Chains A and B, each alone.
Chain A
Amino acid sequence: QKEVEQDPGPLSVPEGAIVSLNCTYSNSAFQYFMWYRQYSRKGPELLMYTYSSGNKEDGRFTAQVDKSSKYISLFIRDSQPSDSATYLCAIASGGGADGLTFGKGTHLIIQP
């Protein structure tokens, strides 16, 4: 079983829709959860960082963590064509001071 599972997509939705992206993980030692956005041939860009179960909101983005189910989600409201990218979940056991374990990424396409 892989440490982090993430559906690679592609996920195609119309502009304005709510997008739900998800990852599952297997090791309960992981305590820190991040979402990165990566445009084609660019470096990953940090979107959200959280270390507790529950929701964290930042603008149109909401990160949700359920440690009991080992399930993390990213919601994007009012999706826009510029949101089209690959979204990577990342997890760590020691905050930023250790190597991150990434999912393979979900390729998201927002149709105008």
Chain B
Amino acid sequence: NAGVMQNPRHLVRRRGQEARLRCSPMKGHSHVYWYRQLPEEGLKFMVYLQKENIIDESGMPKERFSAEFPKEGPSILRIQQVVRGDSAAYFCASSASAETQYFGPGTRLLVL
């Protein structure tokens, strides 16, 4: 019974490159959430998706960030033209309908 899977676990990018973070929810879960944890900060909600739909993106920065959860395959969080301020741990969580959220191990992004 695999939990939430995220890859890569660590990602290094230079300023201006693109970062792609992947998340596979727990089996049977159709809700996916992305959070960001900056150093010395709490977890901040970014976006909530169901299959092929963005439900709530109120926490997403307006530029350079996008997310998708296609019919087949993992959810992707994409950051274009990364800057040093994007360095953080990015966590994905999943839930069944209206149930509690279970988190993955996170992707630690370092922008040089």
Contacts and interface: CB of A to CB of B under 8 A. Distances in A.
B103 interface: yes
B31 interface: yes
B41 interface: yes
Given A44-B43, A102-B42, A97 B103 contact: no
Interface in A25-68: 34, 36, 41-46, 49
B72 interface: no
B61 to A, nearest CB: 15
Given A88-B42, A99-B58, A104-B41, A44 B98 contact: no
B43 A102 contact: yes
A97 B93 CA distance: 11
Contacts, number: 64
Given A94-B98, A96-B31, A99-B33, A43 B106 contact: yes
A94 to B, nearest CB: 7
Interface in B76-100: 91, 93, 95-100
Contacts of A41: 108
A74 B95 CA distance: 23
Interface residues of A, number: 24
Q: How many residues of B sit at the interface, in one of the four size bands?
A: 20 to 34
A42 B3 CA distance: 13
B105 interface: yes
Contacts of B56: 98-99
A50 B100 CA distance: 10
Contact of A97 (B43, B91, B98, B108): B98
Interface centre among A41, A88, A94, A100 (most CB of B within 10 A): A100
Interface of B: 4, 31, 33, 35, 41-46, 48, 56, 58-59, 91, 93, 95-106, 108
Interface of A: 6, 34, 36, 41-46, 49, 88, 90, 94-105
Given A42-B106, A99-B46, 17 more contacts: A34-B100, A41-B108, A43-B104, A43-B105, A90-B43, A94-B98, A96-B96, A96-B98, A96-B100, A97-B98, A98-B56, A99-B45, A99-B59, A100-B43, A101-B45, A102-B42, A104-B42
